[in-house]
């Protein structure tokens, strides 16, 4: 009885994979037909504009990012976004202010000359 269940399960998986492949092929065919239709029925200037835009997007797309904290490479879009957010939030968080006495002590080391505007 268990062998029948295993056989049935294998048949279901094979059928599912066949249907997925068939669906993918249909989608690819439709995409090719759409691209062909638009490439044939579009003026040359629009083709060049589309080509330039695609090239620009491909150049500006970030494919992978190395996380500075963990030294891990991230390839998924969500992970890349999270690593950017973590980096910039850490970069722009304010550090605790130093004590005013320590600041005055530091600046008293230097002798600053104040130049006033004499062109009044």
Going from the first residue of the chain to its last (120 residues), give the mean pLDDT of each consecutive group of 10, the final group possibly shorter.
Answer: 78 92 92 79 81 84 84 88 89 76 76 56
**Per-residue model confidence (pLDDT) at position 112:** 61
**Per-residue model confidence (pLDDT) at position 26:** 93
**What is the Cα Rg of the chain in Å?**
31
Distances (CA, A) of 43 to 34, 38, 49, 56: 16, 9, 10, 20
Domain residue limits, the chain: 1-61, 62-111
């Amino acid at each position: 009885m268990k062998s029948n269940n295993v056989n049935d399960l294998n048949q279901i998986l094979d059928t599912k994979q066949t249907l997925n492949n068939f669906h993918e092929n249909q989608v690819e065919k439709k995409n090719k037909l759409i691209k062909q239709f638009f490439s044939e029925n579009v003026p040359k200037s629009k083709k060049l504009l589309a080509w330039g835009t695609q090239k620009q997007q491909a150049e500006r797309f970030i494919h992978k990012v190395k996380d500075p904290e963990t030294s891990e490479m991230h390839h998924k879009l969500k992970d890349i976004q999270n690593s950017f957010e973590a980096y910039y939030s850490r970069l722009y968080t304010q550090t605790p202010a130093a004590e005013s006495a320590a600041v005055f002590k530091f600046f008293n080391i230097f002798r600053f000359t104040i130049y006033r505007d004499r062109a009044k």
